[in-house]
Structure 1
Amino acid sequence: MTARYSFGGDEHVFVEVSEEMSLGAFFKSLSLCRALKESAIRGVTEICPANASLQVKFNPDVIAPDDLLAEIEALEAATATVDPTLQTRIVEIPVLYDDPWTRETLMRFRERHQYPSGTDLDYAARINGYSDAASFIAAHAGSPWFVSMVGFVAGLPFMYQMVERARQIEVPKYLRPRTDTPKLTVGHGGCFGCIYSVRGAGGYQMFGITPMPIYDPRQEIGYLKELMTFFRPGDIVKFKSVTREGYEEAVRDVEAGRFEPLIRPVTFDLRSFERDPVATNTDIEGVLHGH
């Protein structure tokens, strides 16, 4: 795949690796980001990776736009052979599906929804071919998710479901965005899952809520003291369905400073995943629980 380049104003170069999201496109984008960081091109001030693209911010008083473009194109040619392995981490995220807070919120905005007679879970189950919301929840939590981008609002992860394309959950966004979304809502729009890091407007379908903070601007939470945002591109997420009691216990642990997310280092191999996604996912989840 050949990247497409364009300028964004006077200080940005946008590099589109692919028009569609795939793990292959993400890996190429990640490789180019690494090459840019390692090359330390004078005048480059920020490199922002996305799902299948990246944006480079630069100081035009230090490097001319065309000169920077030539540098990036040379790096792309040099990284044509993408390393298919990634040293990353897998994290378990507890989720209370069909919780009372997102349910109350979604019912306030049914006039903006494609399926006003049911919940977001009901709608997602129906259009993805599942018999009911419970079956859909089992599928949502049944396979890991790959964090391909962090942003839009601080700390919000965009997650790509690690199953073959034909099995990926796809759900349109609301017909018109909501003016409210509970903090830490687990949502979905198009082919991407997300976790809303803060309360605010949104248009993704709402499936549940996690007790695990993923953004702490005050950096008071133990596992967020070094960096106020939890996720980074390349993280692998495994959702764990919990009961209301389990959710409330986790909330108490967070408030008391006792909560620690379950995180394990893992090696992800794109070639192995493309050959056998089920076996690769089983191996990755085994690492999470020490199997």
Structure 2
Amino acid sequence: MAAGPAAVLVEAEDGEQAQALHAEVVRRRAAGELGEVAEVVPAARTVLVAGLADPRAFAADVLRWEVPPLVRAAAGTVELEVRFDGPDLADVAALWRMSTEEVAATVTGTAFRVAFCGFAPGFGYLTGLPPELAVPRRASPRTSVPPGSVGLAGPYAGVYPRASPGGWQVVGTTDAPLWDPDRDPAALLTPGTDVRFTAAR
């Protein structure tokens, strides 16, 4: 659908298809097939493509694309060292019917991918956990969650880049700098990035 005079918002059937479509748009832009596309912004089930000379033509063309299944990047995985010391670790263990050690092993054994970013600069929504491990948000959000907090909510994992209110279930902490305005790019985690958590020793 049109999203202004030079942009199109493409809706996907689910999050995995949205990620695959985002990867395909990025690939085609890099190959010079899309002209002067200024920005490609994925979300939970949509991809916004902005800076189009002819949005209607693009919208009609994208419907004919054969979008390949999402594949993991051959290189470039970001590793985040985590201390599994979060205040909600025991609650998540109870939900998953595991020990806290097994929760840590599950999180570190999962290949995550940044589906999209939002909420705060540098905050990536990470997919990869199986559907049966989705966890509810906290009934009462915290007024302040410390930076570096590793949280779970619904089907996603994420890391708070700075102190902020939040209702995710916090299972651990990392010292990795998620957002640095003096770095290029400023965000450590960007859409399409593969992420693995490792347990701090």
TM-score normalised by the chain length of structure 1: 0.60
Of 72, 75, 78, 2:62 maps to 75
Q: Give RMSD over aligned pairs.
A: 2.6
Deviation at 1:80, TM superposition (A): 1.1
Of 6, 14, 31, 2:9 maps to 14
Is 1:161 the equivalent of 2:128?
Answer: yes
Q: Deviations over 1:135-174 (max 9, x none)?
A: 2222111222122222331111111126xx45x5211112
Residue identity in the other structure for 1:209: T
Is 1:54 the equivalent of 2:18?
Answer: no
Is 1:27 the equivalent of 2:20?
Answer: yes
TM-score normalised by the chain length of structure 2: 0.83
Aligned length: 199
Work out whether residues 146 and 161 of structure 1, in 8 Å CA contact, stay in contact via their aligned partners in 2.
yes
Distance 1:53 1:87 in 2: 25
Work out whether residues 36 and 72 of structure 1, in 8 Å CA contact, stay in contact via their aligned partners in 2.
no
Q: Deviations over 1:70-121 (max 9, x none)?
A: 31330341x314265444421221001115xxx3xxxxxxxxxxxxxxxx22
Of 191, 195, 198, 1:240 maps to 198
Structure 1: stretches of 5+ with no match in the other structure: 1-5, 104-119, 220-224, 244-291
**Runs of 4+ in structure 1 displaced over 6 angstroms?**
none
Work out whether residues 32 and 76 of structure 1, in 8 Å CA contact, stay in contact via their aligned partners in 2.
no
Residue identity in the other structure for 1:214: L
Structure 2: stretches of 5+ with no match in the other structure: none
Give the aligned partner of residue 90 of structure 2. Answer: 122
Work out whether residues 128 and 170 of structure 1, in 8 Å CA contact, stay in contact via their aligned partners in 2.
no
Q: Secondary structure at the match of 1:179?
A: strand
Distance 1:10 1:176 in 2: 41
Work out whether residues 35 and 75 of structure 1, in 8 Å CA contact, stay in contact via their aligned partners in 2.
no
Deviation at 1:16, TM superposition (A): 1.5
Give the aligned partner of residue 137 of structure 1. Answer: 104
Q: Secondary structure at the match of 1:175?
A: coil
Give the aligned partner of residue 192 of structure 1. Answer: 156
Of 122, 141, 144, 1:177 maps to 141
Work out whether residues 46 and 58 of structure 1, in 8 Å CA contact, stay in contact via their aligned partners in 2.
yes
Work out whether residues 31 and 83 of structure 1, in 8 Å CA contact, stay in contact via their aligned partners in 2.
no
Query: Using a 3 Å threshold, how does the CA distance of structure 1 residues 10 and 206 change in structure 2: closer, same or farther?
Result: farther
Structure with higher helix content = 1
Work out whether residues 77 and 195 of structure 2, in 8 Å CA contact, stay in contact via their aligned partners in 1.
yes
Residue identity in the other structure for 1:238: R
Residue identity in the other structure for 1:139: T
Instruction: Specify which structure has the bigger relative contact order, considering alpha-carbon pairs within 8 angstroms and separated by 6 or more residues.
Output: 2
Work out whether residues 33 and 49 of structure 1, in 8 Å CA contact, stay in contact via their aligned partners in 2.
no
Deviation at 1:7, TM superposition (A): 4.1
Residue identity in the other structure for 1:82: P
Of 205, 213, 217, 2:169 maps to 205
Give the aligned partner of residue 188 of structure 2. Answer: 230
Deviation at 1:17, TM superposition (A): 1.3
Query: Using a 3 Å threshold, how does the CA distance of structure 1 residues 69 and 173 change in structure 2: closer, same or farther?
Result: farther
